[in-house]
Amino acid sequence: MAVTEHRGTVMACRLHIIVNQPEAGVAVDRAIGLLHRLESLWSRFLPDSDITRINNDAGTPVAVAPQTIALVEIMREAWDLTQGRYDPTLLPILVAIGYATSKLDPTMSTVLPSGPHRIGHVDEIAVDPHRLTVTIPTGVALDPGGIGKGLAADMAVALLLECGVDGALVSIGGDLTVAGTAPEPDGWRINIERADPDPTPLCRAMIDHGGVATSSTRSRRWESDGRHRHHAIDPATGAQSDTDLATVTVFAANGWRAEAFATGALLAGSEAVIAYLDSHRLSGFAITSDGHILRTDDLADLELIDAGAR
């Protein structure tokens, strides 16, 4: 069956859209427009984004777009669902250890108000959906991170279906959401990447709906104070996680849930990751730092592409 496809860049990531309908350019253009709109609202690197304004005016209600209301509500829900393993308030730690500048555009930086800063207190974030305001506690700063990508993919797929297409896939940086009728009878054929700086396909899967996300200690790496750094912070310690997992991939009902639980699973480490996924009734697999693959029972027949995983 003929499809409409688009490749580009959004949110400092590779964007891939597949629509199960020929000549669906108008619908795809609307989805692209939405994604760039969400980036302008949610990027911590843009001085006039909703997220930056919320962070700059902590303790004060800040008027934001409806999409940002949805994002912050999802952040709070994800924090609750993962018992705090996903925490959207870790931005001051990331900035302090050297992740203040966009990896795509070095001229774009996160500038936080002067401290002291705090992490946690997610349950104290106030969202008023009627007045369209968000209030965060003093000293707290939000970072959408991966969950922003997952929710953006969810919203873009929903918009494409509203435009009347039969089915759609939206991938942002390899993390994706699919819904509707797939081009193939068995579902959507997806390649799952390692999330390394130069991502290569690790395995292939068929899904009929939902979200897939990978969290990794191998992507978004940098050096600071003579140390190799990565963006996986353990909220329990406030320090860079010492997990022995390189990547975790999670299949969930939608993109933002996959993102949140992939973060939580990565922090679990190799001894607990499968029990963690099973406890949340999720499918997924993990790759240890020495290349061993661990998977939930329902993925026993997962088709590996990269022979380096074992």
Q: Is residue 310 part of a domain?
A: no
**β-strand 175-180 against 210-216: which pairing, if any?**
antiparallel
* Residue 205 CB-half CA count within 13 A: 24
Under the banding of pLDDT at 50, 70 and 90, the label for residue 234 is: confident
Domain shared by 66 and 204, yes or no: no
Q: Is residue 129 part of a domain?
A: yes
Q: What is the pLDDT of residue 307?
A: 45
Q: Is residue 271 part of a domain?
A: yes
Q: How does pLDDT run across 237-263, given as a tens digit for each residue?
A: 867 777 899 889 999 999 999 999 999
User: Can you give the CATH number for the domain in which 282 is found?
Assistant: 3.10.520.10
**β-strand 210-216 against 222-224: which pairing, if any?**
unpaired
Q: Is residue 309 part of a domain?
A: no
Under the banding of pLDDT at 50, 70 and 90, the label for residue 235 is: confident
Q: How does pLDDT run across 65-96, given as a tens digit for each residue?
A: 999 999 999 999 999 999 999 999 999 988 88
Evaluate whether 153 touches 74 at the Cβ level (below 8 Å): no
Domain shared by 70 and 27, yes or no: no
Question: Residue 287 corresponds to which tokens in the numbers above?
Answer: 């790759």
**From the CB of residue 60, how many other CB atoms can be counted at a distance below 10 Å?**
13
How far does CA 134 lie from the centroid of its chain?
Answer: 21
Q: How does pLDDT run across 9-61, given as a tens digit for each residue?
A: 999 889 999 999 999 999 999 999 999 999 999 999 999 999 999 999 999 99
- Most confident range (mean pLDDT) of 96-100, 133-137, 214-218, 296-300 is 133-137
Domain shared by 230 and 300, yes or no: yes
Count structural domains, the chain.
Answer: 3
Q: What is the pLDDT of residue 48?
A: 96
Q: Per-residue pLDDT averaged across 154-175, rounded?
A: 96
Q: What is the pLDDT of residue 103?
A: 65
Q: Is residue 2 part of a domain?
A: no
Q: Is residue 26 part of a domain?
A: yes
Domain that holds residue 158: 7-43+145-177
